[in-house]
Structure 1
């Protein structure tokens, strides 16, 4: 792409997204504990961003790479701009937490207490807790700059202790890890209807002399290091994928320290020692005026007894397309089923695999595991199916970042139960969401397939907005089998009938679809592209969208996170609008609609429009032909595009504007509307059952 074409730096675009999430913590329309939850989410997001994206840029600088990104920024320029924005984020995050959230929560009986604020009863409780629970567990380590240093673990909370030395100006130091299993929030005795707690680090600081008897402790402060997690598996050098991935996990434990968070009251002397100990740059050492690791507060947002400070639950609704009394395969045989989670329950997808595991007519099950829950019913069903003598294949993607350890454990459990486990494709991540069940029926062998935009994770299915599509369409079933053959062996899926697969055909198909709309616009026909995704980064596709806009194609994009395209630029992207929705659920579905002269091509996909998804991962683009499924997808897109409550509009200069209803305009919050629609469908179905039973009940 030409450097003259407007393109926003992807890292800065991501930070803008995290600011939109942080806004939810500021929004007074959200209950207090929900606001605390969003503060925790932004902290968690920032941790991963620093570990991966900043870590990668620092590694590039270390290797002397100065190549500019598509926005024209070198790694050094990006790091400088990121650092400035991260400082701003910390400032806004902690100012809001300390000045607004914490006092407001305390006013509702949900109070963090300092030691000086404890009652005599609470002090007695804490003294006992320290001696009973913490003193036997926590162990300090002496540290010296010119000696062998203990490993200080990534993202773990620690105490740095400065002790008076025998000689003047020769202080001694110790580091005491607070541990990942130790309770961060120590609940104190308090009146009914109140929740009072003290943070672990505050309690330890007050009792630090317990660990340093006979020493004069000059200073004690908490800190938290972040290590580079942008360490990729060198597959050509690894003896096998499983062993290689385990080595990567070990390497991450001792990788370079790229960020240090430390409490604001630390002395300049102690901070300098800590930076030198960890080898961290001063610019990436952040003094924080508040508790470190705000993401830990997620635990406290689910505390019982404060329901008025939380959102009213939106429980996933049973789909009106599913009859719980009938078999799932019988229902798919009658018509394709399309679900929108979490508005509609994920249970039918679990049923799909669980019924297959116990169905004597089922011959085989094949499924991709990218991220799944710790007690996954899907994995348990695969295990049971294999024990029942079925041919079961699980593609377990070991390179799913930060889920590698969990996936390794699942792979071993499944292998031990007789499942054929495949460890992905060499050099690529398998990010596709597909499960195929092969069943022998009277008419012959039938393939039933589930395609999705989200992972087979029953936990995140209650939090992430994703599409599930279940069908026994012959062509899509054939393609599902061909897909698994290609990723499990050496077969090249050149003969896919309906699916498009990256890195082979998916990019080409999306490009063709955009170009076709462009040609229609040039010929004076109506042309339109409506797309919903998580991120839009790929330079080539952005260039194609700019060309389409110049030709007159109306382009409506709903991009939750990173968007490197600049809409509304005169003479270039005047026909493109971009919105982003941030609300109580994480927008995760990918839905692509191309007008195609009125016949409308609609797809769901596991892939965002990012170079990594199109060229470096195994992804699927799935056409939806069923009329009622297409109609549903189109209505979902229309609802999201009309959101004027939880949406933000991307402006030509790369900034975002929060949308609000115009004067006289009806308020529409898309997630709320979609949930209410699901509730109304459930109620209508329930009423039909009642109406059907009523005459018979009257006869009795």
Structure 2
């Protein structure tokens, strides 16, 4: 038992935004790991850039709106929006500085040593420059269009796009009369006084149709051998913005180009639909997309070598807070490194492939319905392939005994085979209902397109619930069988996206359990019918019963510990933010409950504080796959309770989204899932231990410990299971009989 008098801790919770930046710093540590393959390090650097883009769009955008409201409201950590914005800006600048130090001083030079070289067109050979010029004139000039800026107002530029700002001189009579004059210190009149000239600017949006990475021929003087002497592929390239900048004068004949520098803006994406005033949700969401396109600029990134004229012009044009102006020494938008990671011929610079394995519980020669009828099936993605889930829905589309398919779609792939299967099922006369969440941030446009296509095919499409996002992952297939109607159900922790299923760690459960099937149908029909759900036997739903269930399970462990029983909570989730859940965990810790939390991203709970949370351990795994599954274990007096869920422990998931908490009923599945959950606390290769102050320390194997990497262990175990099953299959000798 711990001390009954907790220390006074202020604050009791960590700030959510700073906790998220701490997570992105852990991702950046992967890019800074010299033991990792070079192109994998580049990929992690790209991930940190993409992560930061979304964070600034959404979280900084939200803080800007809160700050402008002037309410002075404080977050659970005690900070106002203005204080958070200041702290976030400082942390972001440090983060960006570290990103480019890693890129320019480490990864890029090392890639050059391995003949993946970013070419400087100012210093390349005539042969390479001529090839670059041909590409520019043949493939670029016809696509891009410069726009002169006569009234000091930019055209409506998209957020996160890459653009070039061009400072021009000459043809003064074309300059507008109200353009201010700027003195340049590098020019003087004959009498030594500074000249005045009228600065003129143009912008060249680079768009998204031209590839960012432009391959170039290899300079002969670079050679094509590895330092060891072994032959190796070479890949030389120039970035599109460098190519256009080098030849930019060809866009402005008769003008002198003073300078051409890339810049990038980030717009506020925290634009939500006011559903109380939206009679047509589809039309309302299209207005949201348009509002996001026109929203205020919350961040400006520009080349650090931009002139004072360009820098001042951009800052004044976009009205950006100086704290959120980033002058960057290096290529803007690090997501180009995703493309570099994918170049062919450099397998030695990438991780060994871990192709998803087929589940031994599924016979590829048998229908999915037969496999599920033989017993519940759990799939651990991406170690086990997501194909059975896709196959189940595809088979349902053509099976004459299937009467209905009901499914929730939150995020899907661009060419989703699941959406195609739902359309086929409807076209074949089956009763198909899809809840398409139009409010899934950044997937709104795609989901609107899918919704319209499915409606045209005869699918009954429901656009979620007013005031809530439908985030649950469930598919119900109703099939006529000799014993009557049978419900086959898929529950998951991840989206119905076969592409991200190869990258995200998630759990799928396939079952024909009658109680779960009945609960799932009642839940689904309540959502589509916008009615009050009836009490369910096994499932818990947010925003109605999921929070209560989680709190009851935590408090149950607390009471057992107070009574002298063993009590334990193990949870794996993406984020822990909700203060009511955190307080309940603090109370459980003070009662002596052993609590282990595997939280990938934001954790606002402070672990390890004497008298408050000393029995709480928090670890974070950042590795090849993005840990996405939500799995919760409660000892429950020895009668273990295990759940999977679509919901993190955040207010938005528990109160403002439609989510599911699903008990794991099959004993064999429960045992396997619990074993995998325990493995996450053995990792000593890519695991981080959270400290009471919110910082993280990397967990390092001691001299007595063997290296253990949970993702690798799960993959090797999956492969070994398949191998053993193949070995155990005996060859059956079948004799020919007379007359055969």
For residue 491 of structure 2, give the secondary structure of its aligned residue in structure 1. strand
Contiguous gaps of at least 5 residues in structure 2: 1-7, 173-180, 182-195, 219-223, 225-231
Query: Is residue 334 from structure 1 mapped to residue 334 from structure 2 by the alignment?
Result: no
Single out whichever of 290-299 and 222-231 deviates more from structure 2. 290-299
Distance, in Å, in 1 between the alignment partners of 2:29 and 2:327 is: 22
Query: Is residue 676 from structure 1 mapped to residue 716 from structure 2 by the alignment?
Result: yes
User: Of the candidates 286, 293, 318, which is equivalent to residue 246 of structure 1?
Assistant: 286
1:116 deviates by 2.2
CA, structure 1 residues 533+515, in 2 after alignment: closer, same or farther (shift >3 Å)? same
1:696 deviates by 5.1
1:169 deviates by 3.5
For the aligned residue pairs, the C-alpha RMSD in angstroms reads 1.5
TM-score normalized by the length of structure 1: 0.98
1:148 deviates by 5.0
Partner of 2:576: 536
TM-score normalized by the length of structure 2: 0.92
Partner of 2:207: 179
Q: What are the superposed Cα offsets for residues 331-387 of structure 1, whole Å, 9 maximum, x if unpaired?
A: 211210011000001111111101111111110001111001011111111111111
1:554-569 pair list within 5 angstroms: 554-569=594-609
Partner of 1:601: 641
Query: Is residue 142 from structure 1 mapped to residue 181 from structure 2 by the alignment?
Result: no
Query: Is residue 229 from structure 1 mapped to residue 269 from structure 2 by the alignment?
Result: yes
Single out whichever of 274-283 and 619-628 deviates more from structure 2. 274-283
Partner of 1:117: 123
For residue 33 of structure 1, give the secondary structure of its aligned residue in structure 2. helix
Contact 2:213 2:336 (8 Å CA) reproduced: no
Partner of 1:23: 29
For residue 335 of structure 2, give the secondary structure of its aligned residue in structure 1. helix
Distance, in Å, in 2 between the alignment partners of 1:697 and 1:568 is: 69
Q: What are the superposed Cα offsets for residues 529-579 of structure 1, whole Å, 9 maximum, x if unpaired?
A: 000000000000000000000000000000000000000001000100000
Contact 1:262 1:286 (8 Å CA) reproduced: yes
Single out whichever of 303-312 and 636-645 deviates more from structure 2. 636-645
Partner of 1:389: 429
Q: What is the aligned length?
A: 696
1:208 deviates by 1.1
Single out whichever of 486-495 and 352-361 deviates more from structure 2. 486-495
Query: Is residue 435 from structure 1 mapped to residue 464 from structure 2 by the alignment?
Result: no
Which aligned runs of 4 or more in structure 1 are off by greater than 4 angstroms? 2-5, 695-700
For residue 447 of structure 2, give the secondary structure of its aligned residue in structure 1. helix
Distance, in Å, in 2 between the alignment partners of 1:201 and 1:359 is: 53
Contact 2:271 2:292 (8 Å CA) reproduced: yes
Partner of 2:503: 463
For residue 98 of structure 1, give the secondary structure of its aligned residue in structure 2. helix
Distance, in Å, in 2 between the alignment partners of 1:426 and 1:293 is: 36
CA, structure 1 residues 698+665, in 2 after alignment: closer, same or farther (shift >3 Å)? farther
Query: Is residue 379 from structure 1 mapped to residue 419 from structure 2 by the alignment?
Result: yes
Partner of 2:5: none
Q: What are the superposed Cα offsets for residues 6-35 of structure 1, whole Å, 9 maximum, x if unpaired?
A: 100000000000000011101122110000
CA, structure 1 residues 698+576, in 2 after alignment: closer, same or farther (shift >3 Å)? farther
Partner of 1:291: 331
Contact 1:65 1:75 (8 Å CA) reproduced: no
Query: Is residue 423 from structure 1 mapped to residue 463 from structure 2 by the alignment?
Result: yes
For residue 641 of structure 1, give the secondary structure of its aligned residue in structure 2. coil
Single out whichever of 135-144 and 498-507 deviates more from structure 2. 135-144
Partner of 1:94: 100
- Larger Rg belongs to: 2
User: Of the candidates 68, 75, 83, which is equivalent to residue 81 of structure 2?
Assistant: 75
Query: Is residue 169 from structure 1 mapped to residue 175 from structure 2 by the alignment?
Result: no
Q: What are the superposed Cα offsets for residues 298-339 of structure 1, whole Å, 9 maximum, x if unpaired?
A: 012111000000011000001111111111111211210011
Query: Is residue 663 from structure 1 mapped to residue 691 from structure 2 by the alignment?
Result: no
For residue 65 of structure 1, give the secondary structure of its aligned residue in structure 2. coil
Contact 2:470 2:658 (8 Å CA) reproduced: yes
Distance, in Å, in 2 between the alignment partners of 1:231 and 1:68 is: 21
Partner of 2:134: 128
Distance, in Å, in 2 between the alignment partners of 1:423 and 1:602 is: 31
Distance, in Å, in 2 between the alignment partners of 1:484 and 1:126 is: 57
Q: What are the superposed Cα offsets for residues 415-456 of structure 1, whole Å, 9 maximum, x if unpaired?
A: 111111010010000000000000111101111100000000
Distance, in Å, in 1 between the alignment partners of 2:13 and 2:504 is: 28
Distance, in Å, in 2 between the alignment partners of 1:268 and 1:5 is: 43
Distance, in Å, in 2 between the alignment partners of 1:602 and 1:698 is: 52
Distance, in Å, in 2 between the alignment partners of 1:149 and 1:99 is: 35
Partner of 1:159: 164
Partner of 2:675: 635
Distance, in Å, in 2 between the alignment partners of 1:12 and 1:692 is: 60
Contact 1:3 1:72 (8 Å CA) reproduced: no
User: Of the candidates 515, 522, 534, which is equivalent to residue 482 of structure 1?
Assistant: 522
Partner of 1:622: 662
Distance, in Å, in 1 between the alignment partners of 2:533 and 2:524 is: 9
Contact 2:465 2:530 (8 Å CA) reproduced: no
Contact 1:339 1:469 (8 Å CA) reproduced: yes
Distance, in Å, in 1 between the alignment partners of 2:121 and 2:18 is: 40
1:494 deviates by 2.8
Partner of 1:518: 558
User: Of the candidates 52, 56, 73, which is equivalent to residue 50 of structure 1?
Assistant: 56
Distance, in Å, in 1 between the alignment partners of 2:35 and 2:502 is: 22
Distance, in Å, in 2 between the alignment partners of 1:151 and 1:41 is: 27
Partner of 1:107: 113
Query: Is residue 268 from structure 1 mapped to residue 337 from structure 2 by the alignment?
Result: no
Distance, in Å, in 2 between the alignment partners of 1:172 and 1:446 is: 72
